[in-house]
């Protein structure tokens, strides 16, 4: 399994990479090769330390590369100039990556209204599973918010084909997952009753038990889906939230407000997004 790990060369990103438990989680799901990618944006002027030439960027990548290599991963580094999200998704497609990993501190409700976040744009356009690893805020004494990436997975479903695709990805995390919770949020426009939702979640829990040997918890909440997902993350102390995403038309890329986008931008948990076309099963 090979991943594209996008880095902005910041101290926070390097600290996140140095989290040994996060590296162990990648190893436990079968990652063997890491493509470490950094993109110098077109609007970055020359003369900035570590960002003025490809040679400087490659030199800045060296400590992060050494961390992955010391953990036993094969590593290739890539430096490009351009629009970050386009180059990241382009590398992932060209390298046939099994997953893209980006770090994010999340955003405030106000900044979430603005277009331009690399993480958000990668989430909108990638055709590969995307792991958004939550980097801890500057005042924290930790590098990442949740160190054990896939230890406790919250699967949020609306019983759609998109959600089913994400659910079917869950067994790929088996080597690192010890607990699973299943969540359905009944919103104002939902036609599914609480009893029907509970029954469908129970069926999914049976599948989790059969596939992974884990007794999955189930929960039905009512309210705004993104807010209730974040509340459930806290309640069960999940380390990663697993979501399916819709197809991304050119028009859709201009729109904000989807559940997955809100959870990524404003949440505090790691998020694993499974887009249309992602490989299923083990």
The CB density around residue 110, as the number of other CB atoms within 10 Å, is 7
The predicted pLDDT at position 250 comes to: 42
Query: For residues 143-179, b (16+ Cβ closer than 10 Å) or e, as one string?
Result: bbbbbbbbbbbbbbbbbeebbbbbbbbbbbbbebbeb
- DSSP-assigned letter for residue 251: T
On the question of pLDDT at 281 being above 90, the answer is no
On the question of pLDDT at 117 being above 90, the answer is no
The predicted pLDDT at position 52 comes to: 52
Residue recorded with tokens 């960002």: 51
Per-residue pLDDT band for 178 (boundaries 50, 70, 90) equals: very high
Among residues 98, 132, 103, 120, the alpha carbon closest in space to that of 239 is found at 132
Instruction: Compute, in degrees rounded to 10, the torsion defined by CA atoms 120, 124, 130, 136.
Output: 10
| pLDDT, mean of residues 20-47 | 82
The predicted pLDDT at position 110 comes to: 34
On the question of pLDDT at 116 being above 70, the answer is no
36-51 pLDDT, tens per residue?
Answer: 999 877 665 544 444 4
Query: For residues 236-245, b (16+ Cβ closer than 10 Å) or e, as one string?
Result: bebbbbbbbb
| pLDDT, mean of residues 12-28 | 81
| pLDDT, mean of residues 84-111 | 80
On the question of pLDDT at 119 being above 70, the answer is yes
On the question of pLDDT at 253 being above 50, the answer is no
- Tokens representing 81 are 């100039």
Three-state SS string over 143-174 comes to CECCCCCCCEEEEECCCCHHHHHHHHHHHHHH
Single pTM value for the model: 0.87
Contact 227, 267 (CB under 8 A): no
What is the distance between the alpha carbons of residues 214 and 18, in angstroms, rounded to a whole number?
29
| pLDDT, mean of residues 186-196 | 87
Contact 205, 215 (CB under 8 A): yes
- Tokens representing 234 are 């806290």
| pLDDT, mean of residues 6-15 | 77
Per-residue pLDDT band for 81 (boundaries 50, 70, 90) equals: confident
Poorest-pLDDT segment among 79-88, 113-122, 204-213:
113-122
Q: Do β-strands 33-41 and 74-82 pair in parallel, antiparallel, or remain unpaired?
A: parallel
The predicted pLDDT at position 68 comes to: 93
């Amino acid at each position: 399994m090979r991943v594209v790990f996008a880095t902005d060369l910041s101290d926070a990103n390097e600290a996140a990479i140095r989290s040994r438990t996060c590296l162990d989680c990648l190893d436990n799901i079968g990652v063997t090769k890491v493509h470490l990618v950094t993109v110098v944006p077109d609007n970055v002027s020359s003369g900035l330390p570590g960002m003025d030439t490809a040679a400087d960027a490659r030199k800045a990548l060296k400590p992060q590369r050494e961390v992955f290599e010391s953990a036993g991963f094969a590593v290739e580094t890539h430096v490009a100039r351009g629009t970050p999200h386009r180059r990241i998704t382009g590398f992932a497609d060209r390298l046939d990556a099994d997953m893209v990993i980006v770090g994010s501190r999340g955003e405030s409700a106000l900044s979430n209204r603005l277009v331009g976040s690399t993480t958000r744009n990668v989430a909108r356009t990638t055709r590969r599973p995307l792991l958004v690893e939550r980097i801890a805020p500057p005042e924290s004494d930790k590098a990442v918010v949740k160190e054990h990436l896939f230890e406790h997975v919250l699967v949020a479903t609306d019983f759609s084909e998109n959600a089913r695709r994400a659910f079917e990805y869950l067994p790929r995390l088996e080597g690192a997952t010890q607990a699973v919770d299943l969540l359905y949020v009944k919103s104002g426009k939902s036609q599914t009753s609480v009893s029907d939702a509970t029954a469908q979640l129970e069926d999914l829990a049976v599948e989790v038990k059969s596939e992974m040997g884990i007794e999955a918890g189930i929960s039905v909440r009512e309210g705004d889906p993104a807010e209730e997902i974040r509340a459930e993350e806290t309640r069960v102390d999940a380390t990663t939230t697993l979501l399916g995403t819709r197809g991304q038309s050119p028009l859709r890329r201009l729109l904000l407000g989807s559940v997955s986008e809100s959870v990524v931008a404003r949440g505090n948990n790691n998020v694993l997004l499974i887009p249309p076309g992602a490989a299923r099963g083990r």
